[in-house]
Chains A and B, each alone.
Chain A
Amino acid sequence: MRNRSSGYKKPIPFLRKYIGLIFILPALLLHLCVVMIPSASTFVMSFYDWNGLKSPTFIGLNNFIEIFTEDKVVWVAFKNNLIWMLIFLIVPLIVGLFVATLVVRLKHGQMFYRTAIFMPYVLSAVIAAKLWESIVNPYYGIPIIFKSLGFDSLSQILWLGDPNIALFTVAFVDNWHWWGFVMVLFVAALHQVDEDLYEAVRIEGATKIQEFWYVTLPGIKPTFVFIISMSIMWSFTTFDYIWAMTQGGPGQATEILSSWIYKNSFTMFRSGYASALCVIQSALVLIAFIVMRILGKGAEE
C-alpha cells in the first residue's frame, strides 16, 4: 500500500504473477483430462463406425445421416424429451411459485415446510424411483388401495405398463423430487423483493393480482429465468428416473435421448453412433446454455 501511494510501481514478481495459475492448475488438469478432452474425442468419434473394441473406421457424416433419416427411435426420444421439457416448464414453476407465495407469508413454520418439501431433492434418484415403482405397482401398490376404496377403474390403470401413461408417471415422480428445489429458490427470491415497491403500488390502489404482476414477478425475474433455463437444459439430459423406472419401456414409450444413447453405447455396442447422438444432445444443451446467459444478462439489468 505504501508503495502505491508514493506512485512507485513495483514490477510484479515472478511468483506473484504465476501463483494464481499454479493454484488453478490441479483443478484445471483434472477437469481437462476427465471431462473436456474425452468430450472432444466423442466429437471426433461421431464421424466413425466403432463398436468400442475394434479399430474405428471413418465414415464421415453417415452417423448423422442415419440419425436424421433412418433412426425412428431418436424422433420418439426427442418428442418425449420435448414433452418432458413442457411438463417441467409448467408444473414445478406453477406449483413451486404458488406454494412459495404461501410459505413466505407464514409467521411460523416456514422452516418446517421448507425442510419437508425440499427433502425429496436430496435423495438418491434410484432409490426414490424404485420406491415409487413399488407404490404404483398393480399387485401390491396404490391400485390395491383404490380397489379397496371401490374405485375399480382407477385401480386398473397400469401406471408404468401403459404406454400412454408411463412417461407421465415417471415425470410425476421426477416432479415430486424436483419442485421442492424450485419452491425454495422462489422463497429466497420473494424474500428479496423490495418492500417499498409493494407500499408504492398499494398506495396507488393496486389489487393483489396487479401487485403480483407488477411487483412480485419483476422482482423474481432472475430466479425465473434461471429455473426456466435449467429446466430446459436438464430436460435434454435427464436419465436417472427414466432408467430406474422403465428403461425407456414399455416398448419405446418412455425412450429419451439419454436412454437411447445408453442403449446404443452399452448394450448395442454402437459407440460411434452413440457419440453422434451425444453431439446432438450436447448441441441442444449448449444452445439452452447460451440462451440462458443472454437472457440472464437481460434479467439483471
Chain B
Amino acid sequence: MKKSYIEKQKRTNPMVHIFLILITAFQIFPLIMLFINSLRTDKEIKNFPIGIPTSLDFSNYIETWQKGGYTSAFISSFSIGFTCVLVILVFGGLASYALAKLYVPFKSFFLGYFTLGMSIPGFLFITPNYTVFTKLGIVNTRLSMIIIYSAIFLSFNLLLLRTYLIGIPKELEEAGKIDGCSEVSVVWYVTMPIARPIFSTVALLVFVQCWNEFLWANTYLSTDDVRTVSTRFYKFVSQYSMDLASVFTAGAIAIGPIIILYIALQKKFIEGMTSGAVKG
C-alpha cells in the first residue's frame, strides 16, 4: 500500500495543536456554557455569565421539564421523527432501488426531478400547503408535520440511498440469482444486508432533521400539545426570558438527545451529512 501524503508528515508542530485546541474550544464553549449554566442559579448567572456551579443540583431540570411542557414536546418530536423515518425509508428505499437497479423509463428525468426538488426554497410552498391543510382540517396536528417533513427531507435522503445502492456490485446479485434465489429474495438476502449501514444513516439523518426543523413547525403548530421540542423551546425562551437558569436548562433539555446521539454516532453523522457533497 502506498503511503499517502498525509501519513508522511511525521512531526507535528505543537503550535498546530495549540491553535487547533483553541479553535475547538471556540466551537464547543457555547455548549459547555449551556450545560454548566443549567446547573447554576439565576442569580449566579446574572451576576457573572460564566462560573462553576456551587452545587450539582438537577432539580432545575425537573422544574423546567414541567414548566416547559417537555413531555408533550418530546412525544411530538419522537412520534413525528419516527414516522418520518419510516416513511422515508420505505418511499425513499423503493424509489432509490428503482433508480439504482431497475429499468425505469425516463430515469434521468426522475433523477433530475429529485435533484432539483432538493433545492426548492421552503417559502415557495409553505403558504399554499397551509391553505390546503387548513381546508383538510389538519393544520396544527402532528400529521401535518409528518406529511411536510417526509416530503421535504425525501429528495436528499433518496439520492443518498441511491448513490450507495449503485455502488453495490451487480455481480453479487447475479451470483445470488445463479444460486437459485428469486429476485425478491436477492433483494432481501443480498442487497439489503449490504445496504443496511446507509439505511441506518438515513434514519439517523431524518430523525435529526425533524428534531431540529424550525420554520415549518413554528408556522404550522400553534398549540402546546403538539409543538415539537425546538419550537417549544423557542416559546419557552420568550415566556421565561427573565429566568436565565431555566432558559439554559430548557436549552440543555432540547439539545441533549441530539448531542448524545452525535457523540455516540459521530462517524455516521459526519459521513451522512457530507456524503451529498462528495458525489454532487
Interface segment, one of A66-74, A80-88, A104-112, A156-164: A104-112
A171 located at the interface, meaning its Cβ lies under 8 Å from any Cβ of chain B in the complex: no
Q: A24-B94, A42-B128, A140-B244 are in contact. Are A131 and B274 (CB under 8 A)?
A: no
B158-184 vs A, Cβ < 8 Å mask (1 yes, 0 no): 100000000000000010000000000
B230 close to A185 (CB less than 8 A): no
Q: A27-B92, A31-B155, A191-B6 are in contact. List 6 more A-B contacts (CB 8 A).
A: A30-B87, A105-B9, A120-B28, A131-B251, A278-B123, A285-B119
CB of B196 within 8 Å of the partner chain: no
Q: A24-B95, A131-B251 are in contact. Are A121 and B124 (CB under 8 A)?
A: no
Q: Nearest chain A CB to B255's CB is how many angstroms away?
A: 5
In the bound complex, how far is the Cα of B103 from the Cα of A275, in angstroms?
A: 39
B280 at the interface (CB under 8 A from A): yes
**Is A289 engaged at the interface, CB distance under 8 Å to the other chain?**
yes
Q: Shortest beta-carbon distance, A122 to chain B, in Å? A: 5
Which residues in B have their C-beta under 8 angstroms from that of A184? 270, 274
Task: Pick from A31, A38, A258: contact of B117, CB below 8 A.
Answer: A31
Q: In the bound complex, what is the Cα–Cα distance between A172 and B150 (angstroms)?
A: 31
- Chain B residues with Cβ below 8 Å from A176 are 26-27, 30
Residue of A12, A38, A140 with most chain B CB atoms under a 10 A cut-off: A38
Q: Tell whether, in the assembled complex, residue A117 and residue B24 are in contact, meaning their CB atoms are under 8 Å apart.
A: yes
B24/A113 in contact, CB under 8 A: yes
CB of B132 to closest CB in A, whole Å: 7
A282 close to B124 (CB less than 8 A)? yes
List 3 A-B pairs, minimum CB-CB distance, nearest first. A34-B151, A20-B102, A38-B128
Question: How many angstroms from the CA of A122 to the CA of B234 in the assembled complex?
Answer: 18
Interface SS, A side: helix
Which stretch from B54-62, B63-71, B208-216 is at the chain A interface?
B208-216
> CB of A166 within 8 A of chain B?
no
Could you name 8 residue pairs across A and B whose Cβ atoms are closer than 8 Å?
Answer: A30-B91, A36-B120, A115-B263, A122-B262, A126-B230, A184-B270, A265-B127, A289-B116
> Across the interface, do B234 and A30 meet the contact criterion of CB distance under 8 Å?
no
A104's nearest neighbour on chain B, judged by CB, is B6
Q: Does A89 contact B (CB under 8 A)?
A: no
Is B31 located at the chain interface by the 8 A CB criterion? yes
A98-134, CB < 8 A from B: 99, 102-107, 109, 112-128, 130-132, 134
Interface residues of B in 226-272 (CB under 8 A from A): 230-231, 233-234, 237, 244, 247-248, 251, 254-255, 258-259, 262-263, 266, 269-270
Please determine whether B125 and A35 come into contact, CB atoms closer than 8 angstroms. yes
In contact, A99 and B102 (Cβ under 8 angstroms): no
Contact of A262 with B by CB under 8 A: yes
Give every chain B residue within 8 A of A130 (Cβ-Cβ): 233-234, 237, 247, 251
Q: Is A9 interfacial (CB-CB < 8 Å)?
A: no
Q: Is there an interface contact between A35 and B120, defined as CB atoms closer than 8 Å?
A: yes
The residue of chain A having its C-beta at the shortest distance from the C-beta of B25 within the complex is: A116
B24 A124 Cβ-Cβ under 8 A: no
B247 touches A134 (CB 8 A): yes
Nearest neighbor of A195 in chain B, beta-carbon distance: B5
Inter-subunit contact A124/B212 (CB<8 Å): yes
Q: Are A278 and B121 in contact (CB under 8 A)?
A: yes
| Known contacts A35-B151, A127-B230, A109 near B17 by CB under 8 Å | yes
Q: Which residues of chain B have C-beta atoms less than 8 A from A124's C-beta?
A: 211-212, 214, 230, 233, 254-255, 258
* B80 contacts partner chain A, Cβ-Cβ < 8 Å: no
Contact between B33 and A35 (Cβ–Cβ < 8 Å)? Answer: no
Decide yes or no whether B52 CB sits under 8 A from chain A.
no
Q: Is the CB of A17 within 8 A of B103?
A: yes
Does the CB pair A233–B27 fall under 8 Å? no
Contacts of A116 in B (CB 8 A): 24, 27-28
Q: Tell yes or no: A92 within 8 A of B by CB.
A: no
In the complex, A41 has a CB within 8 A of chain B: yes
Whether B19 contacts A141 by the Cβ 8 Å rule is: no
A39 to B113, CA, bound (A): 14
